[in-house]
């Protein structure tokens, strides 16, 4: 149900010039928490309007998933008149979000130095591929390419398989979240200094930031991390295991949880076996341990067993499809599916605030501008 109470960022005005994913996701999160977000698109619209199927009224679902809680207008920033419109909007804004290639805003006379001199309180957030300088500075960045360059693909996939892209745009999305964090930090500091500042969230940096625990392992051991499939590189059983029906994921993080698992499977001797009695030993002897566990798990219904193990204190889950996950009763309870007038349906805000919860006010494609009213 659409909520109308003020959010934590009520009163903050955001001009979102960004396209594709990282920047628009940042703008949507800010909008969900009450900011007044105006999305400026080029005359042809954001590219993701065409990234389908599926489509609704000629606009792809991809666009709908990233542009809630924004009003939309179109400007051609290569034209002098439209740049003047933008400058008038920025005079009323607190935050600018953009992800143009390095040098584009400067070419238009809209670079940070120029804007900060004219609007000293403006927080200017840029989502970029690699940052503006350095060996790769100024180059465009794309999620899958950064997954490849940052090492993410090298540790994703089956142990005997090829490097594999994570099946969602994890780098773009975490970069959008890092942009949100940067904007909030800058707004907090502005409350003290009265000044805005330049905030940059780069896909390359964000991709590298996701490498835990693989980076930590390499820093300590010097050994290049390898693919381990669904299994965790440091602890075990932290892996998908087969049952009589559907696979389940065990996420056993300590000796107590492992003992409970063994007792539930009527394998109490495993918990005392020196090969498995400690976390380090279980990790070293994971191949043999998985074989012993799956031999017993052949007798169990996967979903029933997962429920039983969680109730007993063993972290565990059935492996669900996207459709099953989005229709799960707990998904509804956590308000993680949002429905709005006009048939819009999307993912809800994952951050819950007790007094100023996220609100859903504008479905994607809402046109209009109130900044200058």
Active-site residues: which are they?
172
Dump strand ranges (E) for the chain. Answer: 13-16, 36-41, 55-56, 59-60, 70-74, 95-98, 123-128, 198-202, 238-241, 248-251, 316-318, 337-340, 344-347, 366-367
DSSP lists the bridge partners of residue 41 as 74
Distance CA 61, CA 135 (A): 36
CB 102 within 8 A of CB 111: no
At residue 202's C-alpha, the angle toward residues 201 and 208, to 5°, is 115
Greatest pairwise CA separation for the chain in angstroms: 78
Rounded Cα–Cα distance for residues 262 and 268 (Å)? 5
Answer whether 72's CB lies under 8 Å from 367's CB.
yes
Q: What is residue 55's DSSP assignment?
A: E
């Amino acid at each position: 149900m659409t909520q109308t109470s003020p959010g934590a960022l009520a009163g903050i005005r955001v001009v979102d010039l960004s396209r594709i994913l990282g920047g628009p996701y940042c703008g949507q999160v800010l909008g969900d928490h009450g900011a007044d977000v105006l999305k400026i698109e080029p005359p042809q619209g954001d590219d993701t309007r065409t990234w389908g199927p599926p489509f609704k009224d000629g606009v792809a679902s991809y666009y709908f998933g990233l542009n809630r809680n924004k009003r939309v207008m179109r400007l051609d920033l290569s034209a002098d008149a439209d740049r003047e419109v933008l400058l008038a909007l920025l005079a009323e804004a607190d935050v600018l979000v953009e992800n143009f290639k390095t040098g584009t805003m400067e070419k238009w006379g809209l670079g940070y130095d120029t804007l900060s001199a004219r609007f000293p309180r403006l927080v200017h957030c840029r989502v970029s591929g690699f940052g503006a300088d350095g060996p790769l500075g100024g180059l465009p960045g794309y999620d899958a390419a950064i997954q490849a360059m940052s090492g993410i693909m090298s540790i994703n996939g089956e142990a005997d398989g090829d490097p594999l892209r994570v099946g969602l745009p994890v780098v773009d999305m975490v970069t959008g979240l890092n942009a949100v964090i940067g904007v909030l930090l800058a707004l907090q500091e502005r409350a003290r200094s009265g000044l805005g500042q330049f905030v940059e969230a780069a896909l390359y940096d964000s991709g590298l930031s996701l490498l835990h625990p693989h980076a930590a392992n390499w820093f300590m051991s010097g050994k290049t991390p390898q693919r381990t499939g669904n299994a965790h590189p440091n602890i075990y059983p932290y892996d998908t295991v087969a049952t009589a029906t559907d696979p389940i994921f065990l996420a056993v993080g300590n000796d107590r949880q492992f003992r409970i698992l063994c007792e539930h499977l009527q394998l109490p001797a495993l918990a005392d076996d020196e090969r498995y009695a400690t976390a380090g030993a279980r990790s070293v002897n994971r191949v043999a341990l998985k074989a012993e566990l799956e031999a017993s798990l052949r007798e169990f219904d996967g979903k029933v067993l997962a429920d039983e193990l969680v109730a007993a204190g063993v972290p565990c889950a059935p492996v669900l499809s996207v459709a099953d996950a989005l229709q799960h009763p707990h998904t509804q309870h956590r308000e993680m599916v949002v429905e709005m007038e006009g048939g819009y349906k999307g993912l809800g805000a994952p951050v819950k605030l007790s007094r100023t919860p996220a609100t859903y006010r504008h479905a994607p494609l809402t046109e209009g501008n109130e900044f200058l009213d």
